[in-house]
Amino acid sequence: MSAGYDVFDDPYCYKGTTTLKNKLGLRDLALLESFELEMTTLRASEALPLGKCDPQHYRRVHHHMFQDIYRWAGKYRTVRTSKAGNPFCYPEYIEREMDRLFATLGQSLAAENSEQFIHHAAQFLAELNAIHPFREGNGRAQLAFMSMIGERAGFPLNFAAVQRDSFLPAMIASYTGALGPLTAELRSLLS
């Protein structure tokens, strides 16, 4: 699944295609998308890996979700990517930026009330999305991880109730620092 990403000479894709190299060798993008959805849905129903809510833990969550599909599951991407002309963090800075961002996660976990939690969670999620550390599967890994963070902080988020038509534009708006829509979306997901 590479549709929508701007990457040139992508070593993650089969030569001459936008289809990501995968464990089954699927070259049809529609088949890969179906397989990916099926496997990540199955993995999302399992318990996520335990950890310290640090970058290594986040990488284990991504690996858990995509281990059946991609050999590079849980590994930071090595290519520059963008979506709709918006560049994500250059690969040479991903590790540093992940360490910096995850150092702020304690603010979400220590929130005293739901509004404080939602504010910090929106900031964290927006920055995590702008880093976009993996070649594919960032959104699903983000939601799984944030669900776990909400549980640990005592403010569970029901990501099963996500309305794609409003959540995706909120994530896109957060890329430029407009956190209002994402904050509203997260608030609506409080259990």
CB 144 within 8 A of CB 61: yes
Q: Give the model confidence (pLDDT) of 40-66 as tens digits.
A: 999 999 999 999 999 999 999 999 999
Whole-prediction pTM value? 0.92
Q: Name residue 149's amino acid.
A: I
5 confidence band (pLDDT: 50, 70, 90): low
Is residue 2 predicted with pLDDT exceeding 50? no
Q: Give the model confidence (pLDDT) of 92-113 as tens digits.
A: 999 999 999 999 998 888 999 9
Domain ranges of the chain: 5-188
What mean pLDDT do residues 134-144 have?
95
Rounded to whole angstroms, how far apart are CA atoms 37 and 190? 25
* CATH architecture of the domain covering 5-188: Orthogonal Bundle (1.10)
